[in-house]
Each structure stands twice: as C-alpha cells, then as structure tokens.
Structure 1
C-alpha cells in the first residue's frame, strides 16, 4: 500500500486541475467554433484547436502515467486470473467507441475542410455519444486494474467531463441542425443499445466492416506492444 503523503494528495488535486483545464479549453473551443470559423476559417480554427488541445492532452497523459499509483491502494487484483485479459478486452472495446470521430483523418489534419457531421451509422446506431461510453468503459477497466485513489479521482473527472459533453454536444447539434438533429435524436439513444432494443434503430454489420475500424484494432495492438516503452518514457519526465 502506498503512503498517503502530502505530495500524493496534491497529485490528486493537480490531476483534477489538469482535467478541468483540458475540459474548459476543449469544450470552450468547441462552443466557439461557429464564431471562430467565421473569423479564421475552418482549417485554421482546427489547427488552433489542435495546438491548444493536444499539448494539454499530452501533459494529462504523462502526469497520469507518472502518478497512477499515488494515494491509497483500495484493492489489488492484478494477480487474479483473468483480470489482465478482462482489462485489455475492455480497453480495446473502449477505443472502438472513443475514436469514431477520427475516421475522417484528412479533416483532423485540416487537409480537407473540417466539418461537423450529423450521422447515425455504425457506432452511432449503438449510442449517439460513443466517446462518453468509451471513456466510461476505459475508466472502469483502469480503475479495476490500478485500484488507487488517484485512479478513482481521475476516472470521476473524466466521466464528469464526458457527461457534460453529452449535454454540450446535443446543444451544439441542436443549434446547428435544428429539426434534422431532432430526427436523429429520436432514432438514436445515449444509453448503449437502447434505441436498438426499442426498435428505433437497427444494427448493420456491414457498416463496421470499414478500414477505419481495422485501424482502431491495429492501434490497440500497437498500444499493447508499446505500453512498456511508454511507461519507461513518461517516467523520465520529472512531473
């Protein structure tokens, strides 16, 4: 069990502060997108968005890696048979939900004109807010694996940010698309599979047979392979 020192308690508050900073920057820039694109253009605003969000995300990830065992060890199940496979399985599923928006890679890189897309295919048939669902699954997996108070605090912060993102995203879509969004909203659900169970939506397997989903699988495999190297690399950062 780790010692509960002042520095470790401070790391919990530091993580919450970093999460709050990222949430304000990310959601704030998303809210300002219509005005920002009028002033700067869609591509330049996407570059600005990336220049603000990506460094904050990198700082968050490095700090998380270096302090993930801070605080009290609430449970220890890493040696329990099957837990490692469960955590990796849940993590893989979480990425399938987390990154459907990155499929338009040319838009992400601002090579093609970035657009806000209103669609209800693929993963959206399961949930209208896949990033929120993916983040919750990721948090459950890593909280189970690490079992520390730092991880609990991190998970609560991430989940609260993404729950806010559900309201924030629906509000922005409503303002942008009006009745068209209302129609999509009526045919989709926030809770995974609820619209399918209700008969409002039908899963189509062929929509998941896309190179982009294969890319997510390859990414998870690479992450699994590089995970020890990432741990070593981030440990050299004195945060």
Structure 2
C-alpha cells in the first residue's frame, strides 16, 4: 500500500527527468555522428526540438506539484530565508548560463561548434552548469521543503553529475591531449584550481554583455515569478 504522502507525482517527475536525461545526453553523444550525416545546423534544430519541449513539460510539472508529498520542513516564514533563496538562485543562473555560449549558434543562425573554453567562469569550475544546478536545487529545496522537491533535486543533481563525466569524456575524445591540459589547469569543484594555484581569476573576462543579460533575466524572473506560477497552474498536469 502506497504511503498517503508518497504521491504518484514523485514517480512521474523521476520519469520525466530520465526521459530528458536520455534525450539530452543521448543527443549530445550522437552529435559527432549526426553532424556528419545532416550538418551542424540541422542537428542543432533537431536537438532543440527534442530537448526543449521535454524541459518545458518538466518545469511545468514541477511548478504544479512542488508541494506534493511530505512537508519535511517549513522555513518560508523565517526572516532572511527568502532573500537567501533569491541570492542563491541569482548566483545559480550565473553558473547555469556561463556566458560562453554564442546565442546565434544556439539558434543555429551561425554554424554551431564545440569549443574548448578556459576563460571566465570556467576558471572557477570546468562544469559551471553542474555547480549552478546544485545551487539552484539547494535554494529551492530549502524554500519548499517537500519530499517531491527533494526527489526532483536529487534527480537533477545526479543527471548533472553524470553530465560532468559525459562532458569530459566527449571533450577528451574530440580534443585528446589538448583537453587533458585544460583538465590540469581547471577543476570540477568550484575555486579548487584557483586555491591550488593552477588557475587565476581575471575579472575583466566577466565584463561581457552576456552577464548583463543574465542580470536582466534574473530581474525579470523575480518580477514574473508569481505570473509564471499562475500560468502553469492553469495547465492540469
């Protein structure tokens, strides 16, 4: 017999995450072969057509079921917690969008390419999206405090930890010794390479329009967050 608070939505969110992980990581693994068959632009379009709808479905389902399950803690009324959650969320987006992407390539307007970056936020962590996802999960799990959100966060973190290995493996296959040298000068754990003296921060590398874009996005998200919750609640998933 299912425990009353252990709702089916716990399994659904895990299923959606597994489907997204297979599509996203599987699509990334197929990139070298697919680009040879259909070209980088068409590959990017197909990759987006598969990944983005799954991501949107996952986000909407999370919004609508975030309070499902057992309430493990409740700190929303504690002074200072809300600002901590927003600050952590803002920081998470700086890592989730590491400002090394060319938006024209993402949209396949320019020919998408694979780069071997070692500047900007990559100096802090070689896998900034993993760091950003962990920070986001900590912030939102702290704020919501339900088993559903905890399970969602665990699934997201596990996917991004797999992405660390998978991303390094793909770059190693593509760049060989050049990537091994980058690995020696960077770290997965934030700031570890800087503390070890293998890397140094260059703040001028962060003075890029992309980071201004992230700041504007966080501001818009702050303003539109209640509207997003209302909009998604009208979808009966």
**TM class, shorter-chain normalised?**
over 0.9
Task: Pick one of 6, 9, 16 that aligns with 1:18.
Answer: 16
Which residue of the partner structure matches residue 68 of structure 2? 70
Aligned mates of 1:103, 1:212 — CA distance in 2: 9
Task: Pick one of 160, 174, 177 that aligns with 1:176.
Answer: 174
Deviations 1:103-158 (A, max 9, x none): 31000000000011101000000000000000000000000000000000000000
Aligned mates of 1:5, 1:67 — CA distance in 2: 17
Query: How far 1:9 sits from its partner (Å)?
Result: 1.6
Runs of at least 5 residues in structure 1 that lack an aligned partner in the other structure: none
Aligned residues: 236
Aligned mates of 2:5, 2:234 — CA distance in 1: 18
TM-score (norm 1): 0.97
Which residue of the partner structure matches residue 95 of structure 1? 93
Aligned mates of 1:233, 1:40 — CA distance in 2: 37
Task: Pick one of 211, 234, 239 that aligns with 2:232.
Answer: 234
Aligned mates of 2:224, 2:48 — CA distance in 1: 24
- Say what the alpha-carbon RMSD is for the aligned residues: 1.2
Aligned mates of 2:131, 2:16 — CA distance in 1: 21
**Which contiguous aligned blocks of 4+ residues in structure 1 show a shift greater than 6 angstroms?**
none
Task: Output aligned runs, 1:36-75, within 5 Å.
Answer: 36-75=34-73
Task: Pick one of 209, 212, 232 that aligns with 1:211.
Answer: 209
Aligned mates of 1:6, 1:38 — CA distance in 2: 51
Contact 1:47 1:110 (8 Å CA) reproduced: yes
TM-score (norm 2): 0.97
Deviations 1:142-199 (A, max 9, x none): 0000000000000000000000000000000000000110010000000000000000
Deviations 1:12-65 (A, max 9, x none): 000000000000000000000000000010000000000000000000000000
Contact 1:22 1:56 (8 Å CA) reproduced: yes
CA distance 1:102–1:187, shift in 2 (3 Å): closer
Task: Pick one of 189, 194, 202 that aligns with 2:192.
Answer: 194
1:9 is paired with a residue whose SS is coil
Contact 2:35 2:43 (8 Å CA) reproduced: yes
Runs of at least 5 residues in structure 2 that lack an aligned partner in the other structure: none
